Structure 1
């Protein structure tokens, strides 16, 4: 524990040192920038990245060249035809190198221009480009829960090795050395996301000790997915510096401990207007009709989390309610009182792909009708 505490104490200093080096080497002596190209690996949850030098500054992803990587080394292509092409889609300021340097969120294609199987952004972009969807200006607020693990034993941070802390209760939004473990990492991530230009809304300690949450949004359409992936990348880079493992496992510890989700808050223009509560109810009815399809797409291992306990609904039963954190869909008291607003889908797991989840919610609530020609997965 002492060594872990020391690693927290030096984290901010180490980040500042690295940032000073980056600015000193580049900012005053060259117009070149470093662009860190980031993509999703073969598991669908791991992230990969590599850097290149480019003329700068760069203001939009359209200015950036495509690049490639060895897909046979990421589980995304065979060795005899290994080249995968990176298409830049979103850029953020680099909180590690700073200056004009950037992080570049990419999606992945074959040399023939076809999305590879792990590229879920391409299908999401088609849904968000539908006129009915774009006219509704869908907003998302993503609540990313995650667990920090001790590097050598893959056991939650602050927990005795091979043992357990006291039962849940004092840890949610708790303070103190006996309740909150990893705050320096969380705070460094918060600041780094703000620097990068991510719409990070806040952070808090979660119910299980060693588990935390950050929120992204409200963000429009596909930008919510871009921002969450960028925030995940920054978080894992910071845990790398701190010598701590980041886990997005939806149930990292079995037993009487909360799992980890990525609750997804959603609204459309019609929901935010007067009379929007009726639109919200209609949307929830559509979500109920496609409950099984959503559950299947909401993250690996989610069945270990959605048990009907620990502030979750059973994955086998759809439910909704006002202020009910044990329901599939929660509607806030403010939304009920004002007759307009948003709802929260509490089913997505912490390891969900935000491109899948955000686009699927938009598709179901806006486009879904039996055999709707523009509902890409409603044809059955």
Structure 2
């Protein structure tokens, strides 16, 4: 007997990487082995030396094929088994290990937009829909578009055993969100990438595409983000470390460095309007969705909890975002003796 293993990896497309996958047939009981692919077809190698390696790092049940079939998330390596330049997971691993004593935890809110052809799902062929407002967490066929796909994607993520924690409709027709976490840096990033792959595959079956574009519709519409909730053990136990983390994210060149690596098109989304802070200004505040970093109101009341970095784009790389946040915040917490 055999089963199917769908190998998934992140390619080298710029400015925003794409997901790729292919199927390997394995004998029952076999562990997914190292495999390979043609990097010249994925923007990761030139034709004269195109062999690259797929190193399995995370596997889960395949909810689309069912049975004993599995999904296998991989890191991309050179043939000498060193990490490829596109392998951002390899850069997160040592940072996560270095600050493991802080017990960093993330929850990421992944916004996305369904498209039917060249239009967001729910946009009329001629003209524009009613202004945003009624679509957010809405109910009814006049305001909600794509719910069947969203529910199927949720079921697929749960069947796969991913740490998905919720879904909701967003402020524009055809725009939705799912949340992954709370999980450790590597876990939340691995689960997010697989959840994204499942989103594309689930929508594919309905003839609909899903995009993580940061500003999928020009005009008076919110963009699409990946608000990133973060805490350490010290932050979950006291309020001072929360302020330390917020200050650290705004210190020196940190705002510019983070924003540069928070996803393509961030200037179009972080305008200071539509529940965002300007991309080139850093701020934090309690219950302030117009700040770069929000401290939820209940966190101030409880004097402990977490923060929400509202700057990452929907198209961000979670391996990069979690690495930057752990490195910046945990370094500052160690200097302050708040481990």
TM-score (norm 2): 0.95
Which residue is equivalent to 1:374?
none
Is 1:90 equivalent to 2:53 in the alignment?
A: no
Structure 1 portions without partners, runs of 5+: 1-29, 372-380
CA distance in 2, matches of 1:370, 1:64: 39
Is 1:52 equivalent to 2:24 in the alignment?
A: yes
Residue 162 of structure 1: how far off its partner (Å):
4.3
Residue by residue over 1:293-332, the C-alpha shift from the partner in whole angstroms, topping out at 9 and shown as x without a partner, is: 0000000111100000001110111011111111100011
Work out which of the residue numbers 94, 101, 118 in structure 2 matches 1:126. 94
Work out which of the residue numbers 226, 234, 237 in structure 1 matches 2:198. 234
Is 1:41 equivalent to 2:5 in the alignment?
A: no
CA distance in 2, matches of 1:162, 1:350: 27
Which residue is equivalent to 1:4?
none
CA distance in 2, matches of 1:161, 1:326: 33
Is 1:215 equivalent to 2:179 in the alignment?
A: yes
Secondary structure class of the residue paired with 1:190: helix
Residue by residue over 1:25-57, the C-alpha shift from the partner in whole angstroms, topping out at 9 and shown as x without a partner, is: xxxxx2x22110000112243110001111234
Secondary structure class of the residue paired with 1:265: strand
Q: Contact 1:248/1:350 (CA < 8 Å) preserved in 2?
A: yes
CA distance in 2, matches of 1:126, 1:174: 42
Q: Contact 2:245/2:332 (CA < 8 Å) preserved in 1?
A: no
Structure 2 portions without partners, runs of 5+: none
CA distance in 1, matches of 2:125, 2:191: 35
Residue 126 of structure 1: how far off its partner (Å):
1.2
Work out which of the residue numbers 115, 123, 131 in structure 2 matches 1:149. 115
Is 1:278 equivalent to 2:248 in the alignment?
A: no
Which residue is equivalent to 2:154?
190
CA distance in 2, matches of 1:220, 1:55: 32
Residue 370 of structure 1: how far off its partner (Å):
12
RMSD: 1.5
Residue 114 of structure 1: how far off its partner (Å):
2.1
TM-score (norm 1): 0.85
Secondary structure class of the residue paired with 1:281: helix
CA distance in 2, matches of 1:183, 1:194: 17
Q: Contact 2:5/2:32 (CA < 8 Å) preserved in 1?
A: no
Residue by residue over 1:235-259, the C-alpha shift from the partner in whole angstroms, topping out at 9 and shown as x without a partner, is: 0001111101111100011110110
Which residue is equivalent to 1:69?
37
Residue by residue over 1:330-362, the C-alpha shift from the partner in whole angstroms, topping out at 9 and shown as x without a partner, is: 011111111110010000000000000011100
Task: Say how many residue pairs are matched.
Answer: 331
CA distance in 2, matches of 1:112, 1:182: 45
Is 1:258 equivalent to 2:222 in the alignment?
A: yes
Q: Contact 2:264/2:316 (CA < 8 Å) preserved in 1?
A: yes
Which residue is equivalent to 1:110?
78
Secondary structure class of the residue paired with 2:205: helix
Secondary structure class of the residue paired with 1:242: coil
CA distance in 1, matches of 2:77, 2:142: 48
CA distance in 1, matches of 2:28, 2:74: 19
Which residue is equivalent to 1:8?
none
Residue by residue over 1:196-234, the C-alpha shift from the partner in whole angstroms, topping out at 9 and shown as x without a partner, is: 000111100001111000000101121110000000000
Q: Contact 2:231/2:305 (CA < 8 Å) preserved in 1?
A: yes
Which residue is equivalent to 1:345?
309
Bigger Rg, structure 1 or 2: 1
Which residue is equivalent to 2:128?
164
CA distance in 2, matches of 1:103, 1:194: 13
Which residue is equivalent to 1:307?
271
CA distance in 1, matches of 2:191, 2:305: 22
Secondary structure class of the residue paired with 1:233: helix
Moved over 3 A (4+): 368-371
